């Protein structure tokens, strides 16, 4: 063979060997969970919980379906690797309580997700903060605005916002004569409640540019921050490469700082000029800025996270409510019979009526079970190695509350896929009270998460949902539009989920409805 021929043959051999080595390395990397589960142990020989044999790049749409089938195969505590990250998935109430509540000191942190915590929230905001003093301080400050006392102070305003939502739906549907898509109106309702609590302001119509802007920001946040949604979160090398998605994350951060930062500056200017400003989160933060050592970005992100946490979730739940009722006329009829009997038709329900209307309450709880906005809550993160019932959970593991599987447990919720409010008829507790029950199997549902990171907006959300859902039932009949089926299975959003866009007919139930709806006007007030 000529010299050239030998060199060519050797080059081909080298290329083949290199390719083979690469394939073997990649194969070993993706199949390494088999070995890791066998050989990584704690000092007592406990191994990492069972789970699928391969590493995954990420899970996209409807990740809960994959988790549910793995839970059936591997049990109530299983593990998966997403790139370099180990996840442990909890699919049972008792395990959730044992880990998140009883051992909350170890299971209450957050992973520094690249997209969510580093690019978008830049290490701030309660939801993305690791467990520790800063998180404690920020949560304490934020919950001042969400406490029962603050809720009482805002009771009339929340009642008014619910009225304005009813009126907006009525007007948008040309007084009940044309079908409507409720996304913008329900979004504005939830937004106004959050704006009032955090900035002391409200939008006065659907055309206010802040409505479209804030709803776009929350939707973008939900699209970009799912616990499994971004391959870039799990393969660190990709974080150094510019990608369109990374650019979207940076843009979202800039838009949030621009939107909420300018509202913050306006508020501060008024305060400094000695003008009267309303009691709200921003006021508390600015008054305590020095003593609490808060910088400008802390304040901006703390207030922005109210709109991120409290808008999409609440408006999504109301949309699920409206989407569900047309296919359940018998449930509507039963609820409306209860409303007519207990409240009558001369006034509509208020917050004081809640515990006198058990069936309407039961509908809302059933909705929260079957249409929880976050099927994986917000992932927790371990700060120490831990061993539990023969399983080893290392430090820096992401721990997921698998609400989808828990909410479809046949023993706790017989016939779990059917929408059946009767299962909650005897439940006289609020979601907040129920979350504190010592028996985790008795808890109503897990839609608000668990343990030290449980949703601090739970009481606010319950009040918002009650006011709207009870009044919707009191005011309207619900009908789907012919040839426009409403899907209750598909949804939008990779983090929080909302129904696919749909239209519905909302027609007033009786003549007196319009009188009540017309009895208040949308006013631009600054409290």
The answer to whether residue 378 forms part of the interface with ligand HEM (CB under 6 A) is yes
The answer to whether residue 392 forms part of the interface with ligand HEM (CB under 6 A) is no
Beta carbon of residue 379, minimum distance to ligand HEM (angstroms, whole number) = 8
Distances (CA, A) of 330 to 6, 335, 358, 419, 500: 83, 9, 16, 11, 24
CB atoms near residue 432 (< 10 Å): 15
Measured distance CA(283)–CA(274) in Å, rounded: 13
Beta carbon of residue 372, minimum distance to ligand HEM (angstroms, whole number) = 6
| Phi, psi at 90, each rounded to 5° | -100, 125
**C-alpha 479: how far from its chain's center?**
28
Instruction: Rank residues 198 and 336 by Cβ distance to ligand HEM and give the closer one.
Output: 198
Largest CA distance in the chain: 103
For ligand HEM, the binding residue among 33, 93, 457, 499 (CB under 6 A) is 457
**C-alpha 62: how far from its chain's center?**
15
The answer to whether residue 195 forms part of the interface with ligand HEM (CB under 6 A) is no
For ligand HEM, the binding residue among 119, 304, 367, 461 (CB under 6 A) is 461
CB atoms near residue 4 (< 10 Å): 8
Beta carbon of residue 518, minimum distance to ligand HEM (angstroms, whole number) = 29
Beta carbon of residue 199, minimum distance to ligand HEM (angstroms, whole number) = 12
Task: List the interface residues with ligand HEM, window 134-153 (CB under 6 A).
Answer: 139, 146
Measured distance CA(224)–CA(207) in Å, rounded: 26
Q: Provide CB contacts within 8 A for 67, sequence distance 6+.
A: 89, 91, 376, 400, 402, 404, 405
Coil vs helix vs strand at 81: strand
Instruction: Rank residues 42 and 223 by Cβ distance to ligand HEM and give the closer one.
Output: 223
Task: List the interface residues with ligand HEM, window 281-320 (CB under 6 A).
Answer: 305-306, 309-310, 313-314, 317
Beta carbon of residue 335, minimum distance to ligand HEM (angstroms, whole number) = 19
Site string for ligand HEM, 417-456 (x = CB under 6 A): ------------------------------xxxx--xxxx
Beta carbon of residue 373, minimum distance to ligand HEM (angstroms, whole number) = 5
Beta partners for 82? 56, 85
Shortest CA distance to 116 belongs to which of 378, 368, 316, 498? 378
Residues near ligand HEM (CB under 6 A), total: 27
Instruction: Rank residues 303 and 420 by Cβ distance to ligand HEM and give the closer one.
Output: 303
Instruction: Rank residues 59 and 308 by Cβ distance to ligand HEM and give the closer one.
Output: 308
Instruction: Rank residues 40 and 210 by Cβ distance to ligand HEM and give the closer one.
Output: 210
- CB-side neighbour CA atoms (13 Å) of 288: 15
Question: Quick one: 450 exposed, middle or buried, by C-beta within 10 A (0-12, 13-18, 19+)?
Answer: buried
Site string for ligand HEM, 315-344 (x = CB under 6 A): --x---------------------------
Instruction: Rank residues 399 and 517 by Cβ distance to ligand HEM and give the closer one.
Output: 399
From 39-47, 204-212, 374-382, 510-518, span contacting ligand HEM (CB under 6 A): 374-382
Beta carbon of residue 363, minimum distance to ligand HEM (angstroms, whole number) = 14
Beta carbon of residue 154, minimum distance to ligand HEM (angstroms, whole number) = 12
Instruction: Rank residues 127 and 475 by Cβ distance to ligand HEM and give the closer one.
Output: 127
Measured distance CA(273)–CA(394) in Å, rounded: 53
Shortest CA distance to 332 belongs to which of 195, 207, 232, 479? 479
Question: Quick one: 355 exposed, middle or buried, by C-beta within 10 A (0-12, 13-18, 19+)?
Answer: exposed
Site string for ligand HEM, 99-128 (x = CB under 6 A): ---------------------------xx-
For ligand HEM, the binding residue among 215, 377, 486, 517 (CB under 6 A) is 377
Mark residue 377 as left, alpha or beta (left: phi above 0; alpha: psi -120 to 50; beta: remaining).
Answer: left
Instruction: Rank residues 362 and 516 by Cβ distance to ligand HEM and give the closer one.
Output: 362
Yes or no: say if 79 and 392 are a contact pair by the CB < 8 Å rule: no
Beta partners for 81? 55, 86
Can you tell me which residue has the tokens 């009771």? 155
Interface residues with ligand HEM (CB under 6 A)? 126-127, 139, 146, 305-306, 309-310, 313-314, 317, 373-374, 377-378, 380, 447-450, 453-457, 460-461
């Amino acid at each position: 063979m000529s010299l050239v021929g030998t060199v060519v043959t050797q080059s081909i051999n080298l290329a083949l060997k290199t390719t083979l080595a690469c394939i073997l390395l990649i194969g070993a990397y993706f199949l390494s969970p088999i070995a890791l589960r066998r050989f990584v142990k704690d000092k007592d020989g406990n191994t990492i919980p069972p789970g699928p044999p391969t590493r995954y790049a990420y899970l996209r749409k409807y990740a809960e379906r994959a988790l549910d089938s793995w839970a059936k195969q591997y049990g109530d505590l299983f593990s998966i690797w997403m790139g370099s990250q180990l996840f442990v998935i909890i699919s049972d109430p008792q395990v959730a309580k044992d880990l998140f509540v009883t051992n909350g000191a170890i299971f209450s942190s957050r992973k520094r997700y690249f997209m969510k915590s580093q690019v978008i929230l830049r290490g701030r905001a309660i939801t993305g903060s690791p467990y520790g003093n800063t998180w404690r301080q920020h949560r304490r400050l934020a919950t001042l605005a969400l406490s029962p006392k603050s809720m009482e102070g805002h009771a009339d305003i929340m009642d008014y916002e619910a009225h304005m939502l009813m009126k907006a739906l009525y007007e948008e549907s040309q007084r009940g004569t044309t079908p409507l898509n409720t996304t913008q109106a329900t979004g504005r309702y939830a937004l106004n409640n959050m704006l009032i609590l955090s900035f002391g302001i409200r939008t006065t119509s659907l055309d206010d540019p802040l409505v479209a802007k804030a709803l776009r920001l929350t939707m973008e946040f939900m699209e970009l921050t799912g616990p499994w949604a971004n391959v870039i979160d799990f393969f660190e090398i990709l974080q150094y490469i510019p990608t369109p998605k990374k650019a979207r994350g940076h843009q979202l951060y800039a838009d949030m700082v621009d939107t909420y930062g300018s509202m913050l500056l306006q508020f501060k200017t008024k305060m400094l000029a000695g003008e009267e400003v309303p009691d709200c989160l921003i006021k508390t933060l600015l008054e305590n800025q020095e003593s609490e050592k808060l910088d400008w970005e802390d304040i901006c992100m703390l207030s922005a996270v109210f709109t991120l946490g409290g808008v999409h979730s609440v408006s999504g739940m109301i949309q699920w409510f409206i989407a569900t009722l047309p296919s359940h006329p018998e449930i509507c009829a039963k609820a409306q019979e209860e409303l007519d009997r207990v409240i009558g038709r001369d006034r509509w329900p208020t917050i004081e009526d809640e515990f006198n209307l058990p069936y309407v309450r039961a509908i809302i709880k059933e909705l929260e079970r079957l249409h929880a906005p976050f099927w994986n809550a917000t992932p927790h993160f371990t700060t120490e190695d831990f061993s539990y019932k023969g399983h080893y959970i290392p430090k820096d593991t992401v721990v997921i509350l698998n609400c989808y599987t828990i909410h479809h447990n046949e023993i706790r919720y017989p016939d779990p896929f059917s929408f059946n409010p009767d299962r909650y008829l005897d439940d006289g507790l609020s979601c907040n009270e129920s979350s504190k029950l010592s028996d985790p199997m008795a808890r109503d549902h897990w839609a608000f998460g668990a343990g030290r990171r449980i949703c601090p907006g739970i009481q606010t959300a319950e009040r918002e949902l009650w006011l709207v859902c009870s009044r919707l039932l009191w005011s309207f009949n619900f009908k789907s539009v012919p040839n426009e089926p409403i899907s209750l299975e598909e949804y939008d959003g990779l983090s929080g989920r909302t129904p696919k866009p749909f239209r519905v007919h909302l027609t007033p139930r009786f003549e007196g409805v319009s009188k009540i709806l017309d009895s208040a006007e949308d006013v631009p007030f600054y409290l």
